Copies of this chain bind each other. A is one copy, B any other.
Amino acid sequence: MRITSSIEYATRLMTALARAHGGEPVAAERLAESDNVPADYVSQILLKLRRAGLVESRRGSAGGYALSRPPERITLSEVVRAVDGDVFEDVCEKYDSGEKNCRHQDACSISPVWRGLGEAVTRYLESVTLASILDGSAGSCGAAPRWLEAMNAAAGRKK
């Protein structure tokens, strides 16, 4: 259970783009410098972000990348999913084999736990927007009330 470099870098890049939002597109190389991300690696990550529809690109001399939506409307959840796939997916299928599969034994009562964990993580990541990272309100400090709000809402709509 760890934050991969792709996730960390993608978050940095998106944060930098959020800061530049509204202005000219930013070239990949410039992002690499300012965010301290290996130059040739940047393109790969940005490619995933573009395919996920989070950024738009323009080629040519004045080209570069820009957010495809305002920073308030992009959550960390989307960023993470773009570069790393769904969180905590496919636990059950992976470690069961033979006839005694997940449905027939103890693991049965375990899988909902992982699902619950995945939901908790997703919910947290959804509560963090690029804008909230920029203005420093994201994270443990001021975010606690925000969570409770989100969780109450989630509980309310009886997900």
- Interface residues, chain A, with chain B CB atoms under 8 Å away: 1-5, 7-9, 11-12, 15-16, 19, 34-36, 76, 80, 84, 87-89, 91, 94-98, 100, 105-107, 109-117, 119-121, 124-125, 128, 133-134, 136, 138-141, 143-145, 147-148, 151-152, 154-155
Contact = CB atoms under 8 A, between A and B. Distances in A.
A1 B117 contact: no
* A-side interface mostly: helix
Contacts of A91: 2-3, 8
A7 B17 CA distance: 37
B11 A110 contact: yes
Nearest to A11: B110
Please state the number of chain copies in the assembly.
2
A109 B121 contact: no
A32 to B, nearest CB: 12
